[in-house]
Structure 1
């Protein structure tokens, strides 16, 4: 079995996240992609705005209808800083015969040396760095290049930060995130919609 693990705050999830996951699923012939909303990102100063259960619900709404996608709530349930090495070790222990792929935007690859136990992360999973459009990516010093794969996806200039700003200003989120997520944001009055 080939499992893709896609971590992030997903605050909120948007179509760029979904496109990244689908491109990787197809190109790497993944049996499933698990979205892993983080409780908190230890490399970001500010935490998420929506709480963990809300972000998990938004991911669930966004991926519904795709049988190859699933939301994995373990990092939110665990609480505290979310470290990829801990999650990968758990998933590997639960799926000893699976090949694991850790999906990320190519821009995040530069931070890999600062992660907790980056060598062990590379032992547990192949890192998949996804180039968005013409953004070049390189393997940072100290990281084994044979454990990193590059995947290209169509340019998609969406960010959760911009969606939160648009929501706060009362601007449309249509065609930026799934309609079910927009409805959830309205219902929960998240990001001041």
Structure 2
């Protein structure tokens, strides 16, 4: 599971999902747009538009799935609830992974029911090579005894472990910058999949702040 606002989905999101699937030999990666992310601002466009853009971006890419379950649920988009839903579908023995970026990882102890995340899944941090800052005390406590060194150790159990993973293509694309460029009328070519760019421009999405 790779969650986010996907506001809008860009090539960095999609390339990370492909490389995550390859690195961990996953059957599939569910990209899950958040309806109302508790620790972030309100997304700029409607959930239905973000989901449509995600589906266009994925296209026929093998192993990537646009998963609308958080958009179909009332209330805040808690990852623990999403993982519980996936666990119920996939069964107790399935290896379930929640991937997140380094900035989100640093706030993990502040998430809703952080211990429950590890009861339901493994956590994989897509690491930044330039980030060596010390972890907050609450996060160190949460992670105690959970970290493993490689994917084999991670997949030895269905849930409960943490792996830091550096992906080959660290594409420094920011959705904030994409939105800024769209509002200013600047080009977003090669930042977004062509189908996503075309849909955004055709429908005038992100034109206004």
**Normalised TM-score (structure 1):** 0.92
Distance 2:81 2:35 in 1: 13
- The 3 A distance-change label for structure 1 pair 116 and 70 is same
- Asked if residue 113 in structure 1 is aligned to residue 109 in structure 2, the reply is yes
- The 3 A distance-change label for structure 1 pair 42 and 36 is same
- Asked if residue 82 in structure 1 is aligned to residue 97 in structure 2, the reply is no
Q: Secondary structure at the match of 1:43?
A: coil
Higher relative strand content? 1
Distance 2:65 2:127 in 1: 23
**Normalised TM-score (structure 2):** 0.85
Deviation at residue 138 of structure 1 after TM alignment: 6.3
Distance 2:185 2:132 in 1: 34
The farther-off stretch of 143-152 and 113-122 is 143-152
1:20-79 superposed Cα distances (whole Å, 9 cap, x missing partner): 1111101111010000000011001x2001111111111101111212000110101114
Contact 1:131 1:137 in 2 (8 A): no
1:68-93 superposed Cα distances (whole Å, 9 cap, x missing partner): 00011010111431000000001101
Distance 1:60 1:162 in 2: 21
Q: Which residue of 2 aligns with 1:180?
A: 195
Q: Paired residue for 1:41, among 37, 41, 46?
A: 37
- Greater Cα radius of gyration, structure 1 or 2: 2
Deviation at residue 17 of structure 1 after TM alignment: 0.6
Q: Paired residue for 1:63, among 49, 58, 61?
A: 58
Give structure 1 stretches of 5+ with no counterpart: none
Q: Secondary structure at the match of 1:36?
A: strand
Root mean square deviation, CA, Å: 1.5
- Asked if residue 6 in structure 1 is aligned to residue 20 in structure 2, the reply is no
- The 3 A distance-change label for structure 1 pair 92 and 133 is same
Contact 1:107 1:137 in 2 (8 A): no
Q: Which residue of 1 aligns with 2:47?
A: 52
Displacement over 6 Å in runs of 4+: none
Q: Secondary structure at the match of 2:72?
A: helix
Q: Secondary structure at the match of 2:196?
A: helix
Q: Secondary structure at the match of 1:122?
A: helix
Distance 1:107 1:136 in 2: 12
Distance 1:181 1:136 in 2: 34
Contact 1:33 1:70 in 2 (8 A): yes
Deviation at residue 134 of structure 1 after TM alignment: 2.8
